[in-house]
Structure 1
Amino acid sequence: MTSKIKIIKEEGNFEVKLGERTLELIKRLEKLNEEEKETLLKESAEILSHCVNPIDTIGQITGLAVGYVQSGKTMSFTTLSTLAIDNGFRAIIYFAGTKNNLLEQTTNRLKRDLLTSSKNRKNYKVYQNPLSDDNHTNNIHNAFKQRNSPTILITILKSEKYITELAKLFSSYEIKTELGNNGVLIIDDEADQASLNRYARSNCKSADWEENQYSSTYASILKLKSSLPNHSYIQYTATPQGPLLINLMDLLSPEFHVVLTPGGAYTGGKAFFVDNPDLILAIPPKEVYHHKKNNLTECPESLVNALQVYLIGVALQVNIYEKEEFLSMMIHADRETDASKKFISWVSNIITSWGDKLALPDSDPGKLELLSSFEKNYNEAVRRIDSTPSFEKIMFEVLEVILDTNIHLVIGKNNPEVKSGNEKIDWNNASSHILIGADLLDRGFTVEGLAITYMPRNSVSKSNADTIQQRCRFFGYKKSYLDSCRVYLPIDSILDYCEYVEHEEIIRKQLKSSTLRELEQVMVLGDQLNPTRNNILSDDVIRHKLNGWRQMNALEHINENIEYVENFISSQSFEIYEDYGTVQRNHKFIKLPINDVIEFLNKFKIAGVPDALRKSSTIQYLRYLADKSKIDYAYIFLMAYDAPEGRERRLNDVNEHLFINNIFMGRSNDGGETYPGDKGIKMDDSLCIQIHKVKLKHNSSKWNQTKLYTLGLYYPEELSHTLIGIVN
């Protein structure tokens, strides 16, 4: 990296330059190699280039930055911040989550990364949860007026109270006058949580948009945005289902997006559930905790095993190999705090008991029994590690690990058993940490050095894809000690995560290759999961399965499709499928490479909803399968190829919605010759597309006797999936 580098993004709203603040930050990111630094800069500059020009402009824009869970999104928006400062933004606002521990975490990281010298303290002014009182208004007003023009950094809880206070502050005469039309950057961390309007579904049922309801946090965000004449709103998330599927008319719907690249040492869903599935261990159904359906009364055996595997791992990685300064274990049983209290009681008693027994003479029966128990888990703990020290040497260190283990209860602040529900964990104060908690261990919270995750939490109903993914605190930069990592989950949760990982990779591939409008807000998702919370989605969201037979209603672009299909037919060498004796029943077919089939679908024009969504998602899914070498070819059938007029089909009209009644001819038995019906004309294990020439029957002169081409699609069971999209 040199100070001569200049980043220019010609396709954006303004030229982005690399300046002193960013160069200073990048130089201090010693854990990144040069390639990772360049990627970080490139992606941060791409985000900023689409923002509104910060110099005396009126305008606003919303963008989306999509990363992986625990992949370094904070580093990304810190780099975005320094680039924004280098390019003229006067203030940056951070929505730092809905819990105080996340607010403190974000504030402390910004101070650590930016306020590294007395000189920098003159360049940045950091305020946490400022109020609109005279004191805060005067302080920020004076900071804006200072000769060296420090950048105002404001971290706030994502709550109606503090966002409304900030809107009042920026609406004050003093701040408004000083800021003028200069740019403000709003960074919404975990943007899919709390920010979106939870009344979206109920609002879509109202005939009058002026009667729309807004959730309090969402309404306060709109107030803040209206107080800033020039601002850019950047949504950061690893679970973009909500922002991608909210209605395009929503003020928080993104207009551009950037997919963030994790560093080379990142271990996410693919690393665990695809590349190293042996790191995932199933919790037996009888040991899966639920406060109503299975309220366990004694410590489950799988938790005992997990604790022993963890302690052996710490002994190896921290004490013997000295690869890590410390490691940690996370236990997340249930959102009910009583569950956390129960589990911490079990763990505390067990750890204390083990420490006492391991300190006894070697001949003590209690110690011998405990060593026998540890020996059963020794093989699991060292299974992936070469040249393993002896069991005796490891157990000698396990006692030291137990004596240097801190156990933390991480639950809400109103619990009298805890000094603070948001206690700051001093990670470097021990070689081992065990965290037991509920929702505070969810989204956004970083569990440093996490090696073992024990999460016997299972959903009774269908899970939300974005919710279960945000519990994956076990993702992160763990490549150096991945062989000592284990994740204990219920079987149903394992299946959900496997489904999600495939869904996530499809979304990221789509986002990398398309604009948001080209995507048509479509995502592919299995039946096991919902995309996100239903209340933030309007009724325009539809869900259709990609399985079995589906028909298209190609009632638009008729002439263009006729020309395209007839040129396609004349350019191919079709084979006779089977002779069923009549023009109406005889068909031809051709087997084509999957890329040729994708091209055919792409060029065949569909405008009606939801067929356009089906076409778009089918193409995206086929590309994904082709890239994964899961599909090489497909079949196209020319139905009733010798019927020049096509087959007659009725055009139905229901509530001004036109659709072809049924393009598929049914089964028949005529003179001993059995016809399986059009839906029997297929290759059972392959994607099949039928081209149907249709002559419409309708009571209007406009449509009656109209000839057109339309399609029938067959998705075999092994390729079946579900698409979710939004109609606009």
Structure 2
Amino acid sequence: MEFQSLQNGINVSYLLEDLTEEIGEKGAATVLRHAQNILDKAPEPKLGPNQSLGLLYGLIQSGKTNIINMIISLAADNGYKLFILLTDNNNALQKQTYDRLHDSIETVFPYTISSLKKESLNMLQAVVQNEGIAIVCKKNVSDLQGLIEYIKLLNAQNLPTIIIDDEADVVGLNTNQRLENTSPSSINKYLVNLKSTFLLHLYLQVTATPQAILLQDNGNELSPSFIEVSEAGDGYVGIDTLFSDHKKNEYVKYINSKEIDILTDETNLFMDGYPETLLEALCYFLIGASIKITKEERFRRRRSKNELQFSFLIHISPLQTIHEKLNSLLLRFKSDVYEALSDTTDNEIKSKLHAAFLELSQFSDEKIHYPDLIATLKRYVKDYDVKMLNSSSETTLTDSKAKFLFIIGGNKLGRGLTIPRLLTTYYGRYTSAPKIDTISQHARMCGYREKDLDVTRVFVTEEIADWLRVISDHDKAQRKILKKKESHKVLYFDYNKIDPTRPAVIPNFVGVYSTGQIYMPKLPQYEKVNGIQTVTSNIDTELSNYCQESFEVVDIKTIIKLIELIPIKEEGSWKKDVIVSYLDWYVNHYNKQQGYLFYNIKGSKITRNLNRGIPSLLSEQMYAKVKNFNDSAPILVLYKIIGLKEKHWDGVDFWMPALRFPTDGMHLLFNLNNV
């Protein structure tokens, strides 16, 4: 589907004007380009029944919502009539999504499931046929069931439809797929039913953590056939900025894990003082926000009293008893700060505030006088609010207009929720089984925050900082692979430190290539009819430049070439395309060009096992020699097999490969059904 000539419609023009003012002409053009790329793969509304399923892979808080709204605007200008935007089962997130969509589109009016029921059905039936309708729906059984029923009442099954499944990896995948003879999980079943309701539609999954989606079987009803990898615009601060070199930058400060233990101790819910690093973090926030208020007030002649709002986030536990403990602590801190600033003598809070000023002022582009800053803080510290985001709290962040907003993270904190000008994060929510997608989505410090980066600080344990560094490496590698249009069913990550996602949504048939381990095919091609003599001759020629039975230094490109030359009859654990893709990634990611080649051309008279192919190729001594070779680079081992007919071969010689994966790379996880 091509929309290139139809980008100046009323909805696109309206949103493009707003985005240009908000993120600049370049940023707005990037949003439109990503939306166009996705719509190019959608069915043409005028050509009859068809469907498409894709994935928008963004970054945490990088503007995916702008792309979603542009997709709807572009589609509305080009013949689509019904737009369904699925959100996490979270009232605050649904309201945020609804408000942003309402403000972004000119001719299509959005509804929720509850607001639809208040309107005249006859009017809605007419509207959906003319201007079109957008529906924002939470992913729970009740709302999805109501959505499907209402679509039938609207007679909208035949209309060109866009379904956007935001945060598609967290709610909607089949959590029963590892269980035999079990029906799909309920939300998954309703999403599949919703998708099958329409004759012509684009179903678009959206997430910044696609690990679970990428591992789904190709035949899965919610496995994407195309992927659009979006990039952040100017001014974005991501996990990479903060954690790729966290031991050397000024943004990350470490928490002693014992302090987290004290704060999460349910037997001690009333605390007299403040743990040292938490107090430091609170003071960094107050000073950082005061610096911003002081500087920005100078350049604004008149503005709303509540225009400047800054946030502090503490996220250490899912338990509501701990949230109440922190709530009491933070409310007390307000009065303690005011009293400390009024006290003419030295005290601990004043000392911590001054220490924070000494560091943060180093990064300011203009001179700041400490007494003026403290005067600003004292004037505004009363404008202070604490909000808990957990399942028992109905509050939303938009409820507060306080300049100093303190947020206590619970289970409602996470995907899609935007925190206003988050300057300081105190994060210590530890898990014994960390997951890439879960930890990534807790990284609310990401976003378009470059203008506040000078006063941004993240307080974490060193272990969590290491997790986030691994996640950063993983995300960069995966995005690079997907942008090159290579197999989107391959994941690269450090399997020893952190898992990709929760086990329930990973299919049964998943394979792992581990660093430093040796892998070989079950059976290479050995039959004459497949031209194996020519293949063997070509490999002989290629190997003639190297000494046999020694570890020869070769370009990894040569290793790849040799692997690709050898045809495989029965793969077993040898997935050639995955291995080649991994080696190519390894060269680019680590900037390492060379590996090792070991081959034996004398010929092995091994006998083919008619059931198991080739038995162990390497002797115990040779296996240990290859596995323990004292260089981290990949090693390709080649043995020529003498193809004697009495050994159950076909009378021609052939080559058998084995590869020791590099010891310094990442482990590799992939879906066996997709390669």
Secondary structure at the counterpart of residue 170 of structure 1: helix
- The 1:549–1:612 alpha-carbon spacing in structure 2 relative to 1, beyond 3 Å, is closer
Structure 2 residue identity aligned to 1:445:
L
Structure 2 residue identity aligned to 1:96:
T
Q: Does structure 2 conserve the Cα–Cα contact (< 8 Å) formed by 1:288 and 1:294?
A: no
Q: Does structure 2 conserve the Cα–Cα contact (< 8 Å) formed by 1:290 and 1:458?
A: no
Within the alignment, does 1:663 sit opposite 2:617 as a pair? yes
Match of 1:422 among 380, 389, 395: 395
- The 1:610–1:395 alpha-carbon spacing in structure 2 relative to 1, beyond 3 Å, is farther
Match of 2:125 among 141, 164, 168: 141
Q: Structure 1 residue 168: deviation in Å?
A: 1.2
Match of 2:158 among 166, 181, 196: 181
Within the alignment, does 1:594 sit opposite 2:594 as a pair? no
Secondary structure at the counterpart of residue 660 of structure 1: coil
User: For residues 63 and 320 of structure 1, what CA distance do their matches in structure 2 show?
Assistant: 45
Match of 1:23 among 1, 6, 13: 13
User: For residues 453 and 77 of structure 1, what CA distance do their matches in structure 2 show?
Assistant: 28
Match of 2:573 among 600, 607, 611: 611
Structure 2 residue identity aligned to 1:404:
D
Q: Does structure 2 conserve the Cα–Cα contact (< 8 Å) formed by 1:103 and 1:156?
A: yes
Q: Does structure 2 conserve the Cα–Cα contact (< 8 Å) formed by 1:666 and 1:677?
A: yes
User: For residues 163 and 283 of structure 1, what CA distance do their matches in structure 2 show?
Assistant: 43
Match of 2:332 among 325, 336, 349: 349
- The 1:711–1:137 alpha-carbon spacing in structure 2 relative to 1, beyond 3 Å, is farther
Q: Does structure 2 conserve the Cα–Cα contact (< 8 Å) formed by 1:406 and 1:430?
A: yes
- The 1:629–1:410 alpha-carbon spacing in structure 2 relative to 1, beyond 3 Å, is closer
Secondary structure at the counterpart of residue 75 of structure 2: helix
**1:27-46 superposed matches below 5 A:** 27-29=17-19, 30-46=21-37
User: For residues 185 and 386 of structure 1, what CA distance do their matches in structure 2 show?
Assistant: 47
- The 1:130–1:430 alpha-carbon spacing in structure 2 relative to 1, beyond 3 Å, is closer
Match of 1:688 among 635, 639, 642: 635
Within the alignment, does 1:226 sit opposite 2:216 as a pair? no
Secondary structure at the counterpart of residue 127 of structure 1: strand
Secondary structure at the counterpart of residue 719 of structure 1: coil
**1:253-268 superposed matches below 5 A:** 253-268=223-238
- The 1:509–1:610 alpha-carbon spacing in structure 2 relative to 1, beyond 3 Å, is farther
Partner of 1:513: 484
**1:503-652 superposed matches below 5 A:** 503-514=474-485, 518-556=487-525, 559=530, 563-564=534-535, 566-571=537-542, 574-576=545-547, 587-588=549-550, 590-606=552-568, 608=570, 611-613=573-575, 615-637=576-598, 639-641=599-601, 643=602, 646-652=603-609
Could you state the TM-score of these two structures normalised by the residue count of structure 2? 0.89
Structure 1 residue identity aligned to 2:396:
E
User: For residues 251 and 676 of structure 1, what CA distance do their matches in structure 2 show?
Assistant: 43
- The 1:25–1:180 alpha-carbon spacing in structure 2 relative to 1, beyond 3 Å, is same
- The 1:508–1:374 alpha-carbon spacing in structure 2 relative to 1, beyond 3 Å, is same
Q: Does structure 1 conserve the Cα–Cα contact (< 8 Å) formed by 2:283 and 2:349?
A: no
Structure 2 residue identity aligned to 1:593:
D
Q: Structure 1 residue 694: deviation in Å?
A: 2.4
Partner of 2:375: 396
CA RMSD of aligned residues (A): 3.0
Q: Does structure 2 conserve the Cα–Cα contact (< 8 Å) formed by 1:61 and 1:255?
A: yes
Within the alignment, does 1:718 sit opposite 2:664 as a pair? yes
Within the alignment, does 1:336 sit opposite 2:316 as a pair? no
Q: Structure 1 residue 548: deviation in Å?
A: 3.4
Within the alignment, does 1:359 sit opposite 2:351 as a pair? no
Tell me, which stretches of 5 or more residues in structure 2 are unaligned?
A: 300-306
Secondary structure at the counterpart of residue 62 of structure 2: coil
Structure 2 residue identity aligned to 1:647:
S
Tell me, which stretches of 5 or more residues in structure 1 are unaligned?
A: 1-5, 10-14, 115-119, 207-211, 415-419, 577-585, 668-674
Partner of 2:417: 445
Q: Does structure 1 conserve the Cα–Cα contact (< 8 Å) formed by 2:494 and 2:666?
A: no
- The 1:294–1:152 alpha-carbon spacing in structure 2 relative to 1, beyond 3 Å, is same
User: For residues 698 and 198 of structure 1, what CA distance do their matches in structure 2 show?
Assistant: 50
Secondary structure at the counterpart of residue 32 of structure 1: helix
Q: Does structure 1 conserve the Cα–Cα contact (< 8 Å) formed by 2:533 and 2:652?
A: no
Q: Which segment is superposed worse, 475-484 or 123-132?
A: 123-132
Q: Does structure 2 conserve the Cα–Cα contact (< 8 Å) formed by 1:503 and 1:526?
A: no
Q: Does structure 2 conserve the Cα–Cα contact (< 8 Å) formed by 1:410 and 1:436?
A: yes
CA offsets per residue over residues 674-723 of structure 1, 9 Å max, x none? x896527956232211122224799995x577743221222343335343
CA offsets per residue over residues 325-356 of structure 1, 9 Å max, x none? 33211111211111111111111111221112
Secondary structure at the counterpart of residue 356 of structure 1: helix
Partner of 1:307: 282
Q: Structure 1 residue 616: deviation in Å?
A: 3.7
Partner of 1:198: 175
Q: Does structure 1 conserve the Cα–Cα contact (< 8 Å) formed by 2:361 and 2:368?
A: no
Q: Does structure 2 conserve the Cα–Cα contact (< 8 Å) formed by 1:130 and 1:136?
A: no
**1:260-279 superposed matches below 5 A:** 260-274=230-244, 277-279=249-251
Structure 1 residue identity aligned to 2:146:
E
- The 1:342–1:555 alpha-carbon spacing in structure 2 relative to 1, beyond 3 Å, is same
CA offsets per residue over residues 43-100 of structure 1, 9 Å max, x none? 1111011112223621222110100010000000000111110110001000022101
CA offsets per residue over residues 481-532 of structure 1, 9 Å max, x none? 11211111122211211111111111101110115xx344444443212211
User: For residues 490 and 653 of structure 1, what CA distance do their matches in structure 2 show?
Assistant: 55
Match of 2:404 among 432, 437, 451: 432
- The 1:223–1:719 alpha-carbon spacing in structure 2 relative to 1, beyond 3 Å, is closer
Q: Structure 1 residue 124: deviation in Å?
A: 1.8
User: For residues 316 and 561 of structure 1, what CA distance do their matches in structure 2 show?
Assistant: 73
Structure 1 residue identity aligned to 2:614:
I
User: For residues 290 and 230 of structure 1, what CA distance do their matches in structure 2 show?
Assistant: 56
Secondary structure at the counterpart of residue 529 of structure 1: coil
User: For residues 155 and 129 of structure 1, what CA distance do their matches in structure 2 show?
Assistant: 7
Structure 2 residue identity aligned to 1:691:
L
Q: Does structure 2 conserve the Cα–Cα contact (< 8 Å) formed by 1:594 and 1:632?
A: yes
User: For residues 225 and 204 of structure 2, what CA distance do their matches in structure 1 show?
Assistant: 10
User: For residues 333 and 183 of structure 1, what CA distance do their matches in structure 2 show?
Assistant: 45
Report % sequence identity. Answer: 23
Q: Structure 1 residue 249: deviation in Å?
A: 1.9
CA offsets per residue over residues 9-59 of structure 1, 9 Å max, x none? 7xxxxx865423112211221133333222221211110111122236212
Secondary structure at the counterpart of residue 178 of structure 2: helix
Q: Structure 1 residue 104: deviation in Å?
A: 0.3
Q: Which segment is superposed worse, 625-634 or 156-165?
A: 625-634
Secondary structure at the counterpart of residue 109 of structure 2: strand
Q: Does structure 2 conserve the Cα–Cα contact (< 8 Å) formed by 1:164 and 1:223?
A: no
Q: Does structure 1 conserve the Cα–Cα contact (< 8 Å) formed by 2:539 and 2:565?
A: no
Q: Does structure 2 conserve the Cα–Cα contact (< 8 Å) formed by 1:524 and 1:722?
A: yes
Q: Structure 1 residue 549: deviation in Å?
A: 2.8
Q: Does structure 2 conserve the Cα–Cα contact (< 8 Å) formed by 1:52 and 1:59?
A: yes
